[in-house]
Amino acid sequence: MSRYTTHAELAERFGTPLYVYDAERLDAAREDLFRWLPEGTEVFYAFKANPHTGVVRALREGDGPACRPEISSTGELAAALEAGYEPASVLYTGPGKTPGELREAVAAGVRLFSAESLTDLEHIGEAALAQGVVADCLLRINSATGSATTGIRMTGKPTQFGIDSETVADLAPSFLAVPGTTVVGLHLFSQSNARDEEALTGELLHSIELAARIQDELGVPLRLLDIGGGFAAPYGQHGERAAYPNLRAALEPALDERFPRWREGFPQLAVESGRYLVGDSGTLLTTVSNVKVSRGKTFVVVDAGINTFGGMSGLGRIFPVSVHVEPDGAPTHKASLVGPLCTPGDMLGREIDLPGLRPGDVVAVPNTGAYGPTASLLMFLGRPAPAEALVRGGEVLSVSRITHVRVHEELGAAGGSADGSDGADTDAHG
């Protein structure tokens, strides 16, 4: 371990782009979330937000309850195992589980899956039977209605996610009869990034109500009830995580009414969270490469683009990022913050307030602990991945970088890939 005093010092030592993850902020977010939830609630951490081994390990270790891993790929499973999680603690989710992935997960010891459809449940059962085991499964439910008015809605419409709630009663015998599986609970995830506590509370109350109805339709008691999440945190701009101080008081009476034994663990209550747990732990440091003016508009070019801070850029979003420099407080002017890639889509912020920047200045983008490198276009143009540093109390605990390893494999006529390519690209932490 080594010490540092400023972000500029870290940038000088390790180069930029550089993600800095503060373990003390991870501790604080985890403590807040557990404190605001009903007593005894389990929290699944969604690895899609940030699978960095040090970050994941921090959410497992330390004081207080550990978060459990929620994964959607064998790559995320490998990250969970590397961080010290037991396979039995893992929840494997996602609408596109392939037979190969399911075989690998079951062979590794994963026994809890979220099933998105009857056929998905059957595929899980086939993988379990091949290993001579039985998989515990949650039925993911796509509610026909919802109450949320903020955030990204995940239900209430035709979607690849979940089983339409209105079909459960008719399909119940089929769900319960799939060889190699036992239906042990429900998985309801209806929204993402709900900034309003009242809206989030209303949606979770709706999930509890729906879960009680579906339990009756299935005719079997639930052992695990995952009511989802939607806990909000800012992304790439100044601001604080949302607070939910009234959540416990609102949810517990509903649970008492609908699931009288939930305090005894029947069912075990669970939620899931990604960005809320890790979002404000991260700061992206990037260096100004050039400043230019084109037809009266100023462009600040930095070495971190959508290949570094893509934030699922395939959705076509341009985020209103905010930056600061040390010392802060400099006057600002309108300019566009752009990356180094040779595409006009490499835009981090268009006509945003920026301080007067010069080549060589290091700027910090706050609240970048979620949806950073692994949600970005890392392979585009073959530029190096950003470094990632985990720090605590002024000490650098670790520094790593994802390395791009290009493997060319002759597949032959019978084994060619679906897109006709002759090779595969793999990424690994190095």
Per-residue pLDDT of the chain (430 residues; tens, 9 = 90+): 688 889 999 999 999 999 999 999 999 999 999 999 999 999 999 999 999 999 999 999 988 899 999 999 999 999 999 999 999 999 999 999 999 999 999 999 999 999 999 999 999 999 999 999 999 999 999 987 654 444 444 455 556 778 989 999 999 999 999 999 999 999 998 766 677 899 899 999 999 999 999 999 999 999 999 999 999 999 998 999 999 999 999 999 999 999 999 999 999 999 999 999 999 999 999 999 999 999 999 999 999 999 999 875 545 555 667 887 766 667 889 999 999 999 988 988 889 889 899 999 999 999 999 999 999 999 889 899 999 999 999 999 999 999 866 666 676 655 444 443 333 333 444 3
Q: What is the CATH number of the domain that holds 61?
A: 3.20.20.10
Are 133 and 73 within one domain?
yes
Letter for the amino acid at 289? S
Identify whether 156 is part of a domain.
yes
Cβ(41)–Cβ(34) under 8 Å?
A: yes
Domain membership of residue 171 (yes or no) is: yes
In a domain, 7, yes or no: no
Within this chain, do residues 170 and 188 fall inside the same structural domain, yes or no?
yes
**Is residue 213 located within the same domain as residue 188?**
yes
In a domain, 6, yes or no: no
Q: How far apart are CA 27 and CA 148, in angstroms?
A: 28
Question: Sign of torsion, CA 43 47 50 52?
Answer: positive
How far apart CA 184 and CA 186 sit, in angstroms, is 7
Residue 319: closest CA among 389, 387, 368: 368
Which residue type sits at 47?
Answer: F
Q: Is residue 5 part of a domain?
A: no
Judge if 301 and 259 occupy the same domain. no
In 197-210, which positions are buried (b, 16+ CB within 10 angstroms) versus exposed (e)?
bebbbbbbbbbbeb
How far apart (Å, rounded) are the C-alpha atoms in residues 82 and 91? 16
For residue 100, give its domain range: 23-278
Of 363, 377, 153, 331, nearest to 238 by C-alpha is 363
Residues 193 and 289 in one domain: no
Inside any domain, residue 188: yes
287 and 415 in a single domain? The answer is yes
